[in-house]
Chain A
Amino acid sequence: MTDPGIEGTAAQIGPNSADLFSKFDPLIQQREELLASGVTDPFNLVMERVESPTVAICNGRRTILLGTYNYMGMTFDPDVVSAGHKALDEFGSGTTGSRVLNGTYGGHKAVEQALCDFYAMDHAMVFSTGYQANLGIISTIAGKEDYIILDIDSHASIYDGCALGNAQIVPFRHNDVEALEKRLRRIPEGAGKLVVLEGVYSMLGDVAPLQEMVAVSKAAGAMVLVDEAHSMGFIGEHGRGVAEAQGVIKDVDFIIGTFSKSVGTVGGFCVSNHPKFEILRLVCRPYVFTASLPPSVVATAATSIRKLMDSADKRAHLWENSKRLHAGLRQLGFTLGTDEPQSAIIAVIMPDLETGAAMWEALLQEGLYVNLARPPATPAGMTLLRCSLCALHSEEQVGEILDMFAAAGRATGCIS
């Protein structure tokens, strides 16, 4: 705090009252210990200027971005940006209302139509964030007597969707088809079942065996929801995700996605062919009880989604980047989250948080930004340096990135 007038004005805690913040003490202490070692706070980085989808100015230094979800590099696309300008001029800065009251403009219907066209599905429902899409769909469609069977490594928004509803929750071991099948078999006859899977798991960048999982789910009479947040635009012939790539998209009942990754703005959605899907607009609380997206956001999203439909060349280049970075990091001696590159996410496994933070800072000083990921976001208590590539990273940039990893890795003793 810099303003001396503000400091010390917190209400006093009386001798008989418990401080509700005491529960955060272990985390506060861990953070203080980490920062006392002199490293830059990895969770407080500010980008002072953003030059392009792959370069920003951080702490006055030109920095290559390798930790964004800007997979297809749409954030500075001239058509996308101009669609946003136009909507801002014509519809104003915000809707100030719920989708079911005054918050549905032409642009909201247009982006839902773009999603229907992109996925070749009948219905699309747009939420204000991807987090809310999972929260809303999962909590609404699975009721008290129903069962949600989910991968243990599911994203926080999926778990929070389960917590917001009151269905019976049954987790199974990550990507384990047999474990899923066993649990489906034990669920009482006639109970409603929703299997929740992800196309790409965002921490290690590994892909789900959707072909087998969707088959066993359907055989057991379950509905299937797949979160394709990290695969949209990139994986599958039309960029529809892992379910498309593995040939099972027709058997998936609900696909959840986001505008904040490949689409390059913010927002979330669910697409489906369920004939009664539209009723969700009236019963899904995270859809009803929040303001709709601003007109400029839905305009940029619609334009971006339509451009992603024919971005085969960019998809091919992004695969090339992923393969090259994966092979290069491996050759340098780093331990990676997957044996083969399976997505645009490449996770470098660090031995502990201290080494991870030191390596993260060394990379930043070299001019490279990656994500430092730690529990509870990561599985099995791992500390990860998560690299996510962009279709607009040039070949030269990938070379520079590998040089920076080599230098930082040697400086911190991560590699020899």
Chain B
Amino acid sequence: MPDRQQIYAKVVDLIAPFNKKGVAITEATRFAQDLEWDSLTVLDFVANIEDEFDVIITMNMQAEIETIGQLVDALQRLQDGK
């Protein structure tokens, strides 16, 4: 099972192709405000995350996730729940 640092590193890798503006990534980076992603970008990114970790991130969960750190926390919970 990957630890939090490994999950974070993988998430950062998966953000890169969608980070068109080259925004510096930290745990506190926000998807909507900082990365300025639209709904289609979010859909594609979430699909890649779901494929990588073999999980489902429902829209209900997405509504609670604002920052990269929160996404990593959610992924860790989903992995632990397996």
- In the complex, per-residue mask of B58-69: 1 if CB is within 8 Å of any chain A CB, else 0: 111000000000
Q: Does B1 contact A (CB under 8 A)?
A: no
Taking a contact as CB atoms under 8 Å apart, the answer to whether A183 and B43 are in contact is no
CA distance A23 to B46 in the complex (A): 28
Q: Which of A167-188 contact B (CB under 8 A)?
A: 168-173, 179, 182-183, 186-187
CA distance A147 to B61 in the complex (A): 13
Taking a contact as CB atoms under 8 Å apart, the answer to whether B56 and A186 are in contact is yes
Do A182 and B51 form a contact, CB below 8 Å, given A152-B43, A173-B43?
yes
Do A183 and B56 form a contact, CB below 8 Å, given A173-B43, A173-B47?
yes
Chain B interface helix/strand/loop/mixed: helix
Do A380 and B43 form a contact, CB below 8 Å, given A169-B59, A183-B56?
no
Q: Does B24 contact A (CB under 8 A)?
A: no
Q: Which of A168, A171, A172, A379 has the most CB of B within 10 A?
A: A171
Taking a contact as CB atoms under 8 Å apart, the answer to whether A186 and B59 are in contact is no
Contacts of B39 in A (CB 8 A): 152
Do A170 and B47 form a contact, CB below 8 Å, given A380-B40, A381-B38?
no
Query: How many residues on the B side are at the interface (Cβ–Cβ under 8 A)?
Result: 14
Of B40, B47, B50, B58, the contact of A168 (CB 8 Å cutoff): B58
- In the complex, per-residue mask of B20-57: 1 if CB is within 8 Å of any chain A CB, else 0: 00000000000000000011100110010011001110
A66 to B: closest C-beta gap in Å = 29
Contacts of B43 in A (CB 8 A): 152, 171, 173
Contacts of A147 in B (CB 8 A): 58
Taking a contact as CB atoms under 8 Å apart, the answer to whether A170 and B59 are in contact is yes
Do A169 and B58 form a contact, CB below 8 Å, given A380-B40, A381-B38?
yes
Taking a contact as CB atoms under 8 Å apart, the answer to whether A179 and B47 are in contact is yes
B31 to A: closest C-beta gap in Å = 16
CA distance A173 to B58 in the complex (A): 14
B56 nearest in chain A by CB position: A186
Contacts of A179 in B (CB 8 A): 47
Of B38, B44, B55, B60, the contact of A186 (CB 8 Å cutoff): B55
CA distance A358 to B23 in the complex (A): 37
B14 to A: closest C-beta gap in Å = 16
CA distance A187 to B56 in the complex (A): 7
A50 to B: closest C-beta gap in Å = 37
Contacts of A182 in B (CB 8 A): 50-51
Contacts of A169 in B (CB 8 A): 58-60
A185 to B: closest C-beta gap in Å = 9
- A-B pairs with lowest CB-CB distance, top 4: A169-B59, A168-B58, A186-B56, A170-B58
Residue ranges of A at the interface with B (Cβ–Cβ < 8 Å): 147, 152, 162, 168-173, 179, 182-183, 186-187, 379-381
11 pairs of residues in contact across A and B, judged by CB atoms under 8 Å: A162-B59, A169-B58, A171-B59, A173-B43, A183-B56, A186-B50, A186-B54, A186-B56, A187-B56, A379-B40, A380-B40
